[in-house]
Structures are given as structure tokens and as C-alpha cells.
Homo-oligomer: A and B are copies of this chain.
Amino acid sequence: MNDFVTLNHGSGGKQSQDLIKNVFVKRFGIIEPLTDSALVWDSGKYLAFTTDAYVVDPLYFPGGNIGKLAVCGTVNDLAVSGAIPMYLTASFIIEEGLPMKDLIQITESMADEALNAKVKIVTGDTKVVERGKCDKLFITTSGTGFMNTGLEHISTGERIIKGDKLIINGPLGNHAIAVLGARNRLSFSTPVVSDCASLNHIIKKVLDRTEEVHFMRDLTRGGLASVLNELASMIKPGITVDEASIPVDDPVKGLCEMLGFDPLYLANEGKFLIVVGKGEEDKVLEILRSDPLGEKSEIIGDIVQGKNNRVILNTIAGGRRILDNLSGIQLPRIC
């Protein structure tokens, strides 16, 4: 392990996972596999409990701001765990000198998004640190919600079997590119807007109409590739995905080529992977596509025989390659 914490430790890639496992998990006695929310047993049912710190730079980006993100992100962590998001807390660490109008605007975005997601922000905390001791504003939200019955193990991958189909609810990379553009004041000919959105309603639509959801995870830090690699390490069968079927919007594709990024590793804030039982994929696709947050949903791959803890990508060029885990970081502070 490194002697010092580096930006790579916060990337969502392999070094993040090593830090979490080696420093936090064993000391806190957290039960693996690591999932988006902890499930705690509460007199007859499970309560999901999750937390995330938001340090996005800049505070505002096309499609949202740190406040909206702080609500969506925590709502989504609960929703993909199979829980119904209910209550949120919000802790603010503010740099002395932050314009009050920014704090108000960001707070209003949080309130709007909470209303939209039908969750309630019930309590919070405010700390102010001296100028230069934080970067304008950091927000940590935590959330709780009761589990939908029967979905207790949806985050662990243990429901997954050979033949299952992988679906994502739309094109990848928009959040990361939107933040990057805002940070560097890039002017894109076609504007890229963050996909930042609360996914609990679209997820509920699916859960209400099929019992064959075997796994869900939101595609945040580290993107689709990191989620697939985490999943591959958790399950017995293998994973194959078809590059040609993975939607990426043209402006994002163009910028990725220009800047040397791979959209499969880029963060999203309104996208999730859903793995469903064979035969259910068309129904689920239809449900997803009928929702504004899933219009461009696609089936992108399969759960296949033969585990080797690797994700195989059938490339557009017609070859096969391992879709590896990044060790470090593509972009820091995109969430």
C-alpha cells in the first residue's frame, strides 16, 4: 500500500477498492461483498442505509449542480439496492466566503430534486472552514429506505445465473464530459448535459412488473467497466458485453476520441446496469424505454458460462478483449 493517499484512491478503480478493503472494511468489520447500501435488520424487514460525499468541481455544470447530485446520487444508491428511498440527511462543509446566493441556489436544487424523487431531507449539519481549507462546498448526504421484499440480495450478485441479460438505460459518459467541460470552460459545438437524475421511479416501474431482476448497480465513478469488473469478481459465471450495443452520444464519443477517454470508464449519474433473467429482457427494455430516463435503453451483454473474473468485450472491430479494471483515475472530482 502507498505511504500517502493519492487521487487514485478516490477514483472508484482498483486502488480505491484496495484502500477500502485494506483500511476500512477489515477495521470496521463491514461484511463483503461491498454494495451501494448497507442492509440493517430492523424488526422484520431490512433497512438500507447509505452515504456519499460530493466534492464535484465546479459546483455547477450543464444539467445540475452539487446539490442536485448529492440528492440523486444517494437516492440512486438506495434504489439500485432494491430499497425505496425515504429519508435523507445533508451535511455541508462550506469554505468561508462562499456567496450566500450559491448556497441558496444549491439548497433549492436539493429541495427540488428531493421533491421530484419523493424523498424527505430530515436533518443536516453545517460546518464552515477558513478560506483555502476546502474548495467552496462539499456536501455529504446519507439515506435510508426500506427494502422491497425479496430483494435483500440483489446487490450481492448471488441471484445471477448463466443466460441472464445485461441492460443499461441509456448512453454513457455524459456526466463526466459535462463536468469536464464546465471545469475547463470548454465550449462544445454540441452541448453535453449531465444525465444526473434520480432513478428510483424508473427502477420501481421495472420491479413492479417483473420478479426477474437479478442485479442492479448505478454506473458512477469508474463507469460501466468498473461495475462490470466488480460484478465479475462477485459471481460464478462470466460476463460478455458487446461494444456495438453500448450507446454513447456522438458529442461524447467525439470528445472522448479527442481527449483520449474511454466512455466505458466515465462516470454517469443517471445510468444503471440491470441484469435480468433470460426471456425477460424485451419486457424490461420496453418498460425502461417507456420512461424518459430510459428512452435509449439497450441490451448490452450476457452472463455466460466459464468464470475467470474477467469481463470480455466483443469489440466493434469484431475482436474480443478483456475489459480491464482501471488502477487509477480518469478524471478526479466528477462527483
Q: Which residues of A contact B (CB under 8 A)?
A: 1-11, 16, 19-20, 23-24, 27-30, 37-38, 40, 42-43, 45, 47, 49-55, 57, 86-87, 89-101, 103-104, 107-108, 110-111, 114, 120-130, 132-135, 138, 140, 142, 144, 146, 332-333
Contacts and interface: CB of A to CB of B under 8 A. Distances in A.
A263 to B, nearest CB: 22
Contacts of A28: 90, 107, 110-111, 114, 120-122, 124
Given A27-B107, A42-B42, A114-B28, A96 B5 contact: yes
Nearest to A73: B125
Q: Which of A5, A96, A98, A103 has the most CB of B within 10 A?
A: A5
Given A10-B127, A108-B27, A124-B51, A40 B87 contact: yes
Contacts of A132: 132
A132 B7 CA distance: 13
Nearest to A12: B126
Contact of A125 (B51, B86, B90): B51
A287 B49 CA distance: 35
B333 A129 contact: yes
Contacts of A123: 30, 37-38, 49-51
List the number of copies, as a whole number. 2
Nearest to A26: B111
A57 to B, nearest CB: 8
A264 to B, nearest CB: 22
Given A27-B108, A29-B120, A3 B99 contact: yes
B4 A127 contact: no
A260 to B, nearest CB: 20
Contact of A111 (B4, B27, B52, B332): B27
A71 B279 CA distance: 48
16 contacts: A1-B100, A2-B100, A5-B103, A9-B126, A23-B100, A24-B90, A28-B107, A28-B111, A28-B114, A51-B123, A52-B125, A127-B138, A128-B332, A129-B135, A129-B332, A129-B333
Contacts of A16: 126
Contacts of A47: 42, 47, 144
B333 A30 contact: no
A89 B2 contact: no
A98 B52 contact: no
Nearest to A50: B123
A128 B16 CA distance: 10
A142 B89 contact: yes
A50 B122 CA distance: 9
B100 A10 contact: no
